[in-house]
Amino acid sequence: MEISSITLSLPKTPRFLPVSSSNSIFFNSSAFFKKTKSLPELVVIAGVAALVFGPKKLPEVGKSIGKTVKSFQQFVDLMLDPK
């Protein structure tokens, strides 16, 4: 009886992914709209968010998310260009 071994060769992935990417929605807002299929999808997402958080709390949640994204962008800019 002969035993044979099969080896699979997988493509090597980088150990660390780059911090910024031209496809990142945090750094390129137009990439978000290119990936978005259509306006009805955005309406459905907004409707679900309104149901979950309520229409009175929704502006506060949106502002909080905006501040978080902005602070993340500032942090990454600081890490990439420490001066």
pLDDT tens digit sequence for 7-54? 656 666 555 555 555 555 555 555 555 565 688 887 888 889 889 988
Question: How far apart, in whole angstroms, are the C-alpha atoms of residue 23 and residue 3?
Answer: 46
Between CA 10 and CA 14, with CA 11 as vertex, the angle to 5 degrees is 125
Output the pLDDT for position 67: 95
Other CB atoms within 10 A of residue 49 CB: 15
Predicted structure pTM score: 0.44
Question: How far apart, in whole angstroms, are the C-alpha atoms of residue 54 and residue 67?
Answer: 20
Task: Report yes or no: 19 and 76 within 8 Å, Cβ to Cβ.
Answer: yes
Domain range list for the chain: 39-80
Output the pLDDT for position 63: 93
